[in-house]
Structure 1
Amino acid sequence: MKKLVLVGGGGHCKSVIDALDKKKFDDIVILDPAFPHLKEVLGIPVVGNDDYLEALYSQGYHYAFITVGSIKNTTIREQLYKKLTMYRYQLINVIDRSSILANDIQIGEGVFIGKKL
């Protein structure tokens, strides 16, 4: 069973959800500091904040993607990356079906490639 955690429930999360191939995962949840006031994003439940990372991993959520955006400052994303790797999450890539990639492209982990314009 493949379970995915999206970390952050704002605007970047919505872009990622739109591009994500949801059929690849049996379950998807979101963590966001606005929980419990923020209950869902585009139909995906918000189940807690970053403090739930360890508990979710023990429940079989072994895949993650950082859905916190960054404009000028990447500190929060860097801290989340360290937390996710500390708990041994596997960071996925999200590539929109409309994007066009070169045949010989090499992509790291946790990469988002959005819609072709």
Structure 2
Amino acid sequence: MDNIVMIGGGGHCKSVIDAALRSKRFGKIFITDVNLKPGDDIFGCEVVGTDDVLPKLLAEGTTKAFITVGFVKPSGLRSKLFYMAKDMGFSFPNIIDPSAVVSVNAKLGTGIFVAKNAVINAGATIGDNVIINSGAIVEHDSIIGDFAHVAVGTKVCGECSIGANTLVGAGATILQGVKVGSDAIIGAGAVVLKDVGTQCTAVGMPARILRGWN
């Protein structure tokens, strides 16, 4: 089994490691983080230093990496780390918790995390480095853009489109066919009945635009 390095050692890392251990797909799991000390561990997986050790890990045969920095608002950090590691030569597996249901007719990018009890239905397209968090549902023919986060308990109905680097907050519902732009925020519990533009924040039931950058 291949070894893998988790880039970022916070709370999101714990969820990803738990799923990775449950999947039994990997050998050693290493962690890099600026706020943890070498020799610390998370669920028995060793912290080996900051991102400065990534070239050494790669040279020693750890060729797989995963971005385990969380995403609570659009910042670009996850994409920056993803491309940094990709340029070094790392590849990115998808980590899917065994309790998740992913249709064989869904199309998946790379470096995707699908958490416990999440569902990705037939015809859905999930971009690179996306988080489909615990209990989230992405229905048929929906498109989730690169680096987006579909948070805990969210429902993305059929034929929706969620832009790159967008956060769909916990418990939100995106109604059938609605399009949400890139770098947007959908607030927790929002019910989105109509399209939301790029760099906009939408909250409420039904959702209203709270702030836009346009």
TM-score by length of 1: 0.91
- Alignment-mate amino acid for residue 69 of structure 1: G
Instruction: Tell me by how many angstroms 1:30 deviates.
Output: 0.3
Instruction: Tell me by how many angstroms 1:75 deviates.
Output: 1.7
* Bigger radius of gyration among the two: 2
SS in 2 for 1:81: helix
Partner of 1:46: 47
RMSD value, Cα: 1.6
Instruction: Tell me by how many angstroms 1:38 deviates.
Output: 7.3
Instruction: Tell me by how many angstroms 1:59 deviates.
Output: 0.7
Identity of aligned residues (%): 38
2:106 and 2:91 map into 1 onto residues whose CA distance is 20
Partner of 2:78: 77
Instruction: Tell me by how many angstroms 1:86 deviates.
Output: 0.8
Q: Which has the higher mean CA deviation after the structures are superposed, 106-115 or 35-44?
A: 35-44
Structure 2 spans left out of the alignment, 5+ residues? 118-134, 136-214
Q: Which has the higher helix share?
A: 1
- Alignment-mate amino acid for residue 91 of structure 2: Q
SS in 2 for 1:34: coil
Instruction: Tell me by how many angstroms 1:99 deviates.
Output: 0.8
1:60 and 2:61 matched: yes
Partner of 2:180: none
Partner of 1:19: 19
Partner of 1:4: 4
- Alignment-mate amino acid for residue 115 of structure 1: K
Structure 1 spans left out of the alignment, 5+ residues? none
Instruction: Tell me by how many angstroms 1:112 deviates.
Output: 0.5
Partner of 1:31: 32
Aligned length: 117
1:95 and 2:116 matched: no
- Alignment-mate amino acid for residue 16 of structure 2: V
Q: Residues 35 and 47 of structure 1 are in contact (CA less than 8 Å); yes or no, is this contact kept in structure 2? A: no
Q: Residues 38 and 49 of structure 2 are in contact (CA less than 8 Å); yes or no, is this contact kept in structure 1? A: no
Partner of 1:112: 113
